[in-house]
């Protein structure tokens, strides 16, 4: 079970009162242990306000007067964007430019300067490594682990083999149920009923393992597939293509299913490079720095995609992006998926209130984290089944 689930599982059904008390005490102990880690970046993290409410986090960059934050969450703001630091300092922000592929906005502050983040130059954390999302105060926003290593989410950048699998198959390898004529498997002569045993010598025992194996390749790469056909062993070279647009569950319906676990980021997918984590971030908690247990800033949280998945832009990619000239805000366009949802969130006040840091009662943040969202197991299963259909 993911650490975030273990930490947040305070209202687990069928728990006896004494069991619930033990779980809560353990949760508080975990957060007490990681607060010193989160504190190392709290001075470089701010709350971002737009449309009279806090809509995202921001990461301090440059000389301390610039902020990186979620573009889609502030793009339709009818009032000036403002940021608030953990010490209560407030500043009005002007949008300097947009990095559209990453859904990032670069803000220039007027009225305050904060401590710029120092990005880690260490290799991207591997699967299973613990991560902490920093907040502007001493309280970490979330804790989790790296679930999937650095990869692309753009469909055209993902390797596509072009097979669907038989979920009822039991035995060594995975059995091919259908072959997609758009994929390299069809061109290579793979047939329904073939059993895929290994890719480049590495065993494949499930749809999950196949998906992870393909993450190591790019469109245009050639893999050697070890296949069993009617008891005969075959070695087949397959040229991988780019993943075509998915025609299974419509994107709108898929998003609705995922929203059953809570609100999602307006732009939550199709990023060039991300790390996938099981941290349970809320949409308004994206845009801030993410640290490893040594306090190094390994990336920036960019989206909540569903109840169990959030994405992080690796530090190396953030530094690469900051080295480029951003798009003029007047010329920037939002992805189509963000438009209708973003406009529904627009508030048009005659006079927007000035945001301020609101102190919370001791322990209230921890209590807020104790809520376990309903239907979690069902949503996780639906996600797994949809991902299997995508192969």
What CATH number corresponds to the domain at position 125? 2.40.10.10
Tell me, what's the pLDDT at 388?
56
Tell me, what's the pLDDT at 10?
39
Residue 333 inside a domain? The answer is yes
Domain harbouring 173, CATH code: 2.30.42.10
Last residue within a domain, chosen from 242, 277, 293: 242
Q: 367 or 303: whose pLDDT is higher?
A: 303
135 & 210 share domain: no
Q: Which of 72-76, 95-99, 138-142, 349-353 has the lowest mean pLDDT?
A: 349-353
User: Crossing angle for the helix pair 376-390 and 251-259, nearest 10 degrees?
Assistant: 160
220 is in which domain, residue-wise?
159-242
Residue 325 inside a domain? The answer is yes
Q: How confident is the model at residue 17 (pLDDT cuts 50, 70, 90)?
A: low
Last residue within a domain, chosen from 195, 220, 242: 242
Q: How confident is the model at residue 56 (pLDDT cuts 50, 70, 90)?
A: very high
Tell me, what's the pLDDT at 264?
87
Distance CA 93, CA 111 (A): 9
3-state secondary structure of 50: strand
What is the percent of the chain with per-residue pLDDT over 70, rounded to a whole number? Answer: 73
Which tens digit of pLDDT belongs to each residue from 373-386?
Answer: 445 555 555 665 55
Q: How confident is the model at residue 108 (pLDDT cuts 50, 70, 90)?
A: very high
Q: How confident is the model at residue 336 (pLDDT cuts 50, 70, 90)?
A: low
Q: What is the mean pLDDT of residues 278-295?
A: 94
What are the angstrom distances between the C-alpha of 220 and each of 155, 159, 238, 243, 274?
Answer: 14, 8, 10, 11, 21
259 & 177 share domain: no
Comparing CA positions, the residue from 2, 5, 1 lying closest to residue 370 is: 5
CA max distance for the chain: 75
Dig out the tokens for 198 from the structure: 């290994």
Contacts of 391 (CB under 8 A, 6+ apart): 161, 163, 164, 165, 207, 210, 211
340 & 224 share domain: no
DSSP string covering 313-341: EEHHHHHHHHTSPPBPTTT----GGGHHH
Q: How confident is the model at residue 78 (pLDDT cuts 50, 70, 90)?
A: confident
How many domains are there within the chain? 2
Residue 87 inside a domain? The answer is no
Q: How confident is the model at residue 364 (pLDDT cuts 50, 70, 90)?
A: low
Q: How confident is the model at residue 139 (pLDDT cuts 50, 70, 90)?
A: confident
Residue 134 inside a domain? The answer is yes
214 & 289 share domain: no
Q: 255 or 228: whose pLDDT is higher?
A: 228
206 & 234 share domain: yes
Q: Which of 17-31, 129-143, 250-264, 345-359 has the lowest mean pLDDT?
A: 345-359
Is residue 189 scored above 50 in pLDDT? yes
Q: Residues, the chain, total?
A: 391
β-strands 81-85, 90-99: how paired?
antiparallel
Is residue 177 scored above 50 in pLDDT? yes
Is residue 193 scored above 60 in pLDDT? yes
167 & 127 share domain: no
312 & 179 share domain: no
171 & 137 share domain: no
Comparing CA positions, the residue from 60, 33, 86, 2 lying closest to residue 359 is: 86
Residue 179 contacts residue 192 (beta carbons within 8 Å): yes
31 C-beta neighbours (distance < 10 Å), count: 19
Residue 63 inside a domain? The answer is no
Distance CA 1, CA 388 (A): 21
Tell me, what's the pLDDT at 373?
46
Last residue within a domain, chosen from 213, 242, 271: 242
Residue 92 inside a domain? The answer is no
What are the angstrom distances between the C-alpha of 73 and each of 50, 197, 280, 293, 312?
Answer: 8, 45, 18, 29, 16
144 & 289 share domain: yes
Residue 77 inside a domain? The answer is no
284 & 308 share domain: yes
What is the percent of the chain with per-residue pLDDT over 90, rounded to a whole number? Answer: 52
Distance CA 159, CA 123 (A): 23
Residue 325 contacts residue 100 (beta carbons within 8 Å): no
Tell me, what's the pLDDT at 367?
53
Tell me, what's the pLDDT at 111?
79
Q: How confident is the model at residue 287 (pLDDT cuts 50, 70, 90)?
A: very high
Based on C-alpha coordinates, what's the Rg of the chain? 23
Q: What is the mean pLDDT of residues 103-109?
A: 96
Residue 82 inside a domain? The answer is no
Give just the sign of the alpha carbon dihedral 73, 77, 83, 84. negative
Q: What is the mean pLDDT of residues 210-225?
A: 88
Alpha helix positions (H), 195-299: 207-214, 251-259
Using a cut of 0.75, tell me whether the model's pTM lies above it: no
31 & 127 share domain: yes
221 & 293 share domain: no
Residue 245 buriedness (CB in 10 A; 0-12 / 13-18 / 19+): exposed
Q: Which of 113-122, 159-168, 289-298, 310-319 has the lowest mean pLDDT?
A: 159-168
**Residues of 52-63 as b/e, b for ≥16 C-beta within 10 angstroms?**
bebbbbbbbbbe
Is residue 18 scored above 90 in pLDDT? no
Distance CA 382, CA 389 (A): 11
Q: 82 or 14: whose pLDDT is higher?
A: 82
Q: State the average pLDDT for the chain.
A: 81
């Amino acid at each position: 079970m993911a650490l975030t689930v273990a930490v947040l599982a305070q209202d687990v059904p069928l728990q006896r009162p004494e069991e619930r008390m033990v779980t809560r005490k353990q949760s508080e102990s975990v957060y007490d242990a990681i607060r010193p880690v989160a504190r190392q970046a709290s001075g470089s993290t701010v709350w971002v306000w737009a449309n009279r409410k806090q809509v995202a986090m921001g990461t301090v960059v440059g000389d301390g007067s610039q902020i990186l934050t979620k573009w889609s969450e502030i793009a339709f703001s009818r009032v000036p964007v403002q940021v608030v630091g953990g010490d209560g300092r407030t500043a009005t922000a002007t949008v300097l430019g947009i990095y559209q592929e990453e859904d990032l906005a670069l803000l220039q502050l007027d009225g305050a300067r904060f401590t710029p983040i120092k990005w880690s130059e260490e290799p991207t954390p591997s699967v299973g490594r613990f991560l902490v999302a920093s907040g502007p105060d001493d309280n970490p926003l979330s804790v989790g682990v790296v679930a999937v290593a650095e990869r692309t989410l753009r469909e055209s950048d993902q390797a596509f083999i072009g097979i669907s699998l038989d979920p009822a198959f039991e035995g060594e390898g995975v059995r091919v149920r259908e072959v997609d004529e758009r994929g390299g498997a069809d061109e290579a002569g793979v047939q329904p009923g073939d059993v895929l045993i290994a890719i480049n010598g590495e065993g494949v025992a499930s749809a999950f393992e196949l998906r992870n194996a393909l993450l190591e390749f790019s469109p245009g790469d050639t893999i050697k597939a070890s296949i069993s056909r009617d008891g005969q062993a075959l070695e087949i070279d397959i040229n991988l293509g780019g993943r075509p647009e998915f025609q299974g569950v419509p994107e709108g319906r898929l998003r609705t299913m995922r929203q059953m676990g809570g609100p999602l980021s307006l732009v939550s997918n199709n990023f060039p490079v991300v790390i996938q984590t099981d941290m349970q971030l809320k949409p308004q908690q994206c845009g801030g720095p993410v640290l490893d247990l040594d306090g190094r800033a390994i990336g920036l949280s960019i989206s909540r995609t569903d109840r169990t998945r959030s994405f992080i832009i690796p530090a190396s990619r953030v530094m690469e992006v900051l080295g480029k000239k951003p798009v003029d805000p007047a010329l920037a366009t939002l992805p189509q998926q963000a438009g209708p949802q973003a406009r529904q969130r627009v508030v048009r006040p005659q006079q927007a209130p000035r945001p301020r840091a609101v102190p919370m009662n001791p322990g209230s943040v921890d209590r807020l984290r104790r809520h376990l969202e309903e239907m979690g197991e069902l949503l996780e299963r639906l996600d797994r089944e949809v991902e299997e259909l995508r192969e």
